[in-house]
Chain A
Amino acid sequence: MNATAEQISQAPAANTSLTESIELSQLDQLFNERFDERFETKMKEREAEHTPSMTIISTKGTLDMAYPPFILASTAAALGWDVAIFFTFYGLSLLKKDLDLAISPLGNPAMPMKMPMGPHWLRKANIKMPNLVMANIPGFEHVATTLMKKTMADKGVADIGELRELCLEAEVKMVACQMTVDLFGMEKEDFIPEINDWVGAASFLPTAQKADVSLFV
């Protein structure tokens, strides 16, 4: 007890002489060097512990626009990322039990029109067709959708149902927009039961805020 009290009473005197012997600028320099060393290691530790995350806002319900969200989400999940997709407006079609997605070449000038059958020269040809013609042939979209699905299957591209299944298996969070269901008078029973939540923008944005990657499709 006595010894401790003695040590304490001597300590300030010792410290004073120490501070006197080291210039303040030297202390600063030592501290900064040590900080830089520690900062680097701490940042590396933090990076190693950090699980990357991604949020996607999916707004389109056509066959072609169904691919980007599901491809990116399933791949990110395979890389070990946390992923959530917010489906809003026509994007909600991608969560229907009965996935009946179509593609329209009408008003879609970038879409290549290819024949997935027949001789090589025909398969290679890009068949240009005026909008006026496409718009007037009954069932044109149906035929275009069938041909696109065949091309995708031939090229080993997964179908949307399979990709969605892989996303669900990998625990990608599927979040649906409540307002869209009300707006279009949709029935919740028509959607897959795996939907994590029916929410509004205010519930989704805080998730997006913390995400490393946030995409709008």
Chain B
Amino acid sequence: MSALRLPSGGEVDRARPLRFRFDGRDLRGFAGDTLASALLANGVRVMGRSFKYHRPRGLLAAGVEEPNALVQVGEGALSTPNLRATEVELYDGLVARAVNCWPSARLDVGALLRPLERFIPAGFYYKSLMWPDWHWFEGAIRRAAGLGRVAGVPDPSRYESRYAHCDVLVVGAGPAGLEAAVEAAARGERVLLCEQEPRIGGCLLWERREVTGPVLDGEAARDWIAARLAQLQACPDVQVATRTTALGHFDHGALTLVERVAEHLGPQAPAQLPRQRLWQVRAGRVVLATGALERPLVFPGNDRPGVMLATGVRRYLGEFAVRAGERVVIFTNNDAAYATAAVLRASGGAVVAIVDTRTTPGDASLALAAAADARVLRGAAIVATHGDPALRAVTVRDATGRRERLEADLLAMSGGFSPTAHLFSQAGGTLQWDAASLQFRPAGGAASVTAVGDAAGVETPIEPCWRVEAPGKAFVDFQNDVTVDDVELAAREGFVSIEHLKRYTTLGMAPDQGKTANVNGLALLGSMTGREPGQVGATRHRFPYTPVALGAIAGRRRGELFHPVRRLPLHDWHAAHGAAFDEYGGWMRPAQYPRPGESRVAAEQREALAVRDGVGLFDASPLGKIEVVGPDAAAFLDRIYANAMSTVQVGRLRYGLMLSELGVVIDDGVAARLADDRFLVGTTSGGAARIAAMLEEWLQCEWTGLRVLVAPVTTRTAVLTLTGPAARRVLETVGTDFPLAADAFPHMTFREGAVGGVPARVFRVSFTGELSYEINVPNSAAAGLWQQLMDAGAAHGITPVGIEAWMLLRTEKGYLHVGADTDGTTAPDDIGWGHVLRRDVDFVGRRSLTRPENRRADRHQLVGLEPLDGAALPVGSHLRSTAAQRGSEGYVTSSGFSPTLQRWVALAMLRAGRARHGETVTVLHGAQPLRARVTAPGSYDPQGERLRG
């Protein structure tokens, strides 16, 4: 291994070496490494190119806040873009690439743009690429910018989701989180402790006592962690979840976590494990032990590979036994960074200097510096960095203004700390600026969320240094390539709200969401506009804390499970007989039954003709069925339907319209009176659930005194509809225990009895215009009866009929299809049901029918159309009196070719259409307008003799 890896220490397992490949180079690391630590140990310093300027970038941090080292991990369908190398656990055979560069991070062609970078400040695209059209440039810009690439094929991984409940959710298993979890467990509370890292312990895994304070370091710290963990594991109601990130805090203690179950195992992961698991947790309260994120200092050249956050340097050293540099300069505005000097020196590195912007560092810190043999330059700043592509030296400007060049391959910086209070903010809490310690601390507003440890605030002596005044590009947001100059430009142009600054410069956007950039950005904006950071305020944090795979959110709801469909009781029969299925209102239904070599359209025509000439059998099972029962059932239905239902006699059927309170037709169907106090309400197939819910709402919320029960029973029975002139003969052959003659069983009545030996309820209603029997039977008996009917009908050429032929038959007949011929404005009179207005009783929508809008003479009304040019009248085509007229007088709502009439038939909504029968109108479709004659709706058997037969 490289000299950078220490011979001992850290959490890596030197007995388990792993091979991996980065940007085409074969490298080695250890179990326990992250991709970042392994790359660092191999001396890889350039790990990516910046988003906009293609500047070479290396690691800034060691944790989730890493803005630079974004990598594409895995190959083929498993390839995943924009993962932070600091979060990718190393596994044997891992393959990764840097993003936003070609062919590699070290040799990037896009970097040829770099001489142009001073010409493309924030807002450049908005201002410059407007003429002639942004879209001329968009493709090239999008290719040059952007980060990783999606795999382009479906992700074969399995994702799962689970629900969990707890009294306390502790986020973060560092020292503060472990303490909080142990305390809660001791009180007997149900505790869920989640830790985004693979290991429990947080900063105890890498920090020394100079930083962690009362807690011990090294072996003592490991013992301390193990003891706490053992305490927790002994409690039955405590769950500890590692590799689990709390992404979001929503209302009423609802949190979303994502657990990387097998992701870290790569392609070798056992098949039974999901790649990730999304947790939806309901927590009584939340303890945030999420620590704090260190801020960079803003000075020219601060993005050069080799410039890192001081905590990152300490973590690589302590947890991964990787020393990020041999000759180190430390640049700080606070005391916390001095510990870095101590640990680097102890590991054998050389600390060249500590550059402190302050003039009076704390005594303890100075002692640390002395122990590390490090010069301390007080009141000094770094004004330039050198080295290409990675750091070789820095230029320091001391308190007197004198410049000095220091050779160094690592610059560890600290600009202070920001408590990781994202979830607190998401929970509605406010973050309050502490001007003494220069940080936004969680304040009030989120009563059930408590921040502990560094998440509540980091206590270290600090003085402000929001930027170093010196020429050169000084980066504020590394991930989005936002510099001090960009923030200045925004301030000058009036984008002085932090939200405007974000949108204008992209500061704090993208995968990173400004974890290391936001506070520096708003403090800078404040300094430029004469405001304190507290006055500028922070943007509200939002879900998710770190980027989450869409697959994890989708979980198992993919493919067939994305939108589960319902299957008919007779599905298998339909499938075995060649049905072409489509989804209608959530049901998979046969659209047609095409024969081998037959087109769908030809099948539909054949099926429709069979109904007119002989007999067809249609599976109408999804028709909505709702039982309405009780002493007040009739009175209730009188209020629900626009027409009266209380006058229907037992044993008879009545067609009815339902309106919304706006007077709009929302459903239609046939109601049967089963007994004085019992109705079976028929609805459209698509309206079954909606209408049942509506009935409940009226009963529960408005007419609470009515004694009525509503029971949706749609799926209790299958409905086999036998239709056509031969329907009665088929039914006779199958056999019924009730007479079928027209006078004994007339149209719009029903009978209960045996059909082919099966208990059934048979309705004589017709949606095709032919003699029809809707046979309701238990689902279990449906297949047997269907086959009996098919066998009995063979002599009459019985044909199974799909829903498309069904719709064609009703269009020929002029029967309304609610939702196709009607829309959200259609009133009963518009479809020829004006007589309901003569009902002098109240019903849902009654009062709205007398609104002026509903009394207008020029409303759209349902008509039939007869084409005069022999061509199709496509649905949606607009109608005019003449081709030269402007605007629209209506539109085609249903259309099809009638095999019986051998011409196209159509229904339309036409302005004042009922008074215009016989008129010729223009149908707009394509370049050549068509002509059609307006007729009454329905072209087939207008007297209705066939269906009564």
Tell whether A and B belong to one assembly: no
Taking beta carbons and an 8 Å cutoff, which residues of B are in contact with A?
Answer: none
Taking beta carbons and an 8 Å cutoff, which residues of A are in contact with B?
Answer: none
